[in-house]
Structure 1
Amino acid sequence: MSTSTDSPPVRPRRDRRPVGPLVFLLVLALAALGVWWKVLADAGVREEAAEAACATAAEAPPSLDPTTLSVRVYNATDTAGLAQTVAAELQARGFVVDEIANDPTDREVTGPGEIRHGPRGNDAAGYLALFLPGAGDHLDTRATAQVDLVIGPEFDRLASPEEVAATLTPIASAEAAC
């Protein structure tokens, strides 16, 4: 008797999952996650840079037309004629100088000078401060927009027009970024 069957031999059943495609999908998912992580991080950096630029623009002194500013130049030093020299230079740059004299107050001025103004003169004082870096700021109770530039004992010179322009250029680009 023969025990042969016409059916093919039975193969063992494969219960394993396809490992290759699963590994490929896992790598693909990790790569996509990495790309999105980078995109979101870059968006955060751009947002922080925009916020910093807007903060810089908000804190920056205004860019004004000097012909619209009314300035009084006072000398608080022992150097005779210094207020006249500074006033002439400011007039050459377009400022309107209303008065030139020795400092009429008893305030002690230190450093290169002091800029005195009332609340209405905040913008003008900020702009004038570009021309005398390191000058102190003194807010008083005057009701006008007039600004006093008081020359102090450490006064060397006014900032050059190029230095003022160099200060205002990054501010203009920061304002454009907002």
Structure 2
Amino acid sequence: MSYVREDGLAHARRRRQRRSIIVLVVAVLLLFGALFYALAFMRKSTESSPSASSSCAVTTTAPPQSIFTLNVYNASSDSGVAKRTAAALQTHGFTIGTVSNDPYKESLSGVGQIRFGPKGKKDATTYVEKYLHGATLVQDGRTDDSVDVVLGDEAPTIKSAPPAKVSLPPGCSTPTP
């Protein structure tokens, strides 16, 4: 067996070369990691920056009273009251169905009636009753969630809702016509 004996300088030189290669590999890996992080950060910031098509778009949610149909009927001696009331209630977010004279052909002298079925009771008492204080609540046999407003001679005049103010996020400007 023969052993090759190396001197101390050659051994030190190989150790330095190994150390240099390890330092170089670590530096390259850190450089690629930093580059990847920078690209990910830039991609994220461009996706979240305000643009006219995404974050400056005005989103509105439907009011809860728009989930059921509200029919407005006239049972008073005043002609056109159902049409005016339906238009006003629509500005408050209601989905208006039929606007006509009372299908039961009743003539009501009081405020009126709010007619509903079992599915529409909550909607009638929660959303409709506040516009017709003093109206008689009448549960009928309908199977859907629609609600009828039947206006009598003493029905209050319902005012239209003021136009909603639209607030845009910072950095967005109002469109010019």
TM-score (ref. length: structure 1): 0.51
Q: Secondary structure at the match of 1:74?
A: strand
Unaligned 5+ segments in structure 1 are: 1-63, 162-178
Structure 1 ranges of 4+ moved more than 2 A: 106-110, 158-161
Residues 164-175 of structure 1 correspond to what in structure 2 (within 5 A)? none
Q: Distance in 1 between matches of 2:91 and 2:101?
A: 21
Could you say what secondary structure the match of 1:130 adopts? helix
Conserved 8 A contact 2:73-2:149: yes
**Residues 39-54 of structure 1 aligned to structure 2 (within 5 Å):** none
The answer (yes or no) to whether the contact 2:91–2:160 under 8 Å persists in 1 is no
> How far did 1:78 drift?
1.4
What is the match of residue 148 of structure 1?
148
Give 1:87's aligned residue.
86
What residue in structure 2 maps to residue 76 of structure 1?
A: 75
Residues 118, 100 of structure 1: alpha-carbon distance in 2 compared, 3 angstrom cutoff: same
Q: Distance in 1 between matches of 2:116 and 2:159?
A: 20
Shift of 1:106: 3.7
Superposed displacement of residue 108, structure 1: 4.7
Larger helix share, 1 or 2: 1
* CA shift in 2, pair 1:86/1:160, >3 Å: closer
Tell me how large the CA RMSD over aligned residues is. 2.0
Q: TM-score, length-normalised on structure 2?
A: 0.52
Alignment of 1:10-159 (within 5 A): 65-126=64-125, 127-158=127-158
Measure, in 2, the Cα distance between the counterparts of 1:152 and 1:66: 22
Q: Distance in 1 between matches of 2:160 and 2:99?
A: 21
Contact 2:73 2:101 in 1 (8 A): yes
CA contact (8 A) 2:92 2:160 kept: no
Matched residues, number: 99
How far the C-alpha of 1:160 sits from its partner, in A, is: 8.0
**What is the Cα deviation at residue 131 of structure 1?**
1.0
Deviation at 1:65, TM superposition (A): 1.2
Cα distance between partner residues in 2 of 1:125 and 1:159: 19
Q: How far 1:156 sits from its partner (Å)?
A: 2.5
Identity between Structure 1 and Structure 2 (%): 36
- Give the whole-Å Cα distance in 1 for the aligned partners of 2:145 and 2:75: 22
In 2, the alpha carbon distance for the partners of 1:92 and 1:98 equals 14
Q: Is the 8 A contact 1:113 1:154 kept in 2?
A: yes
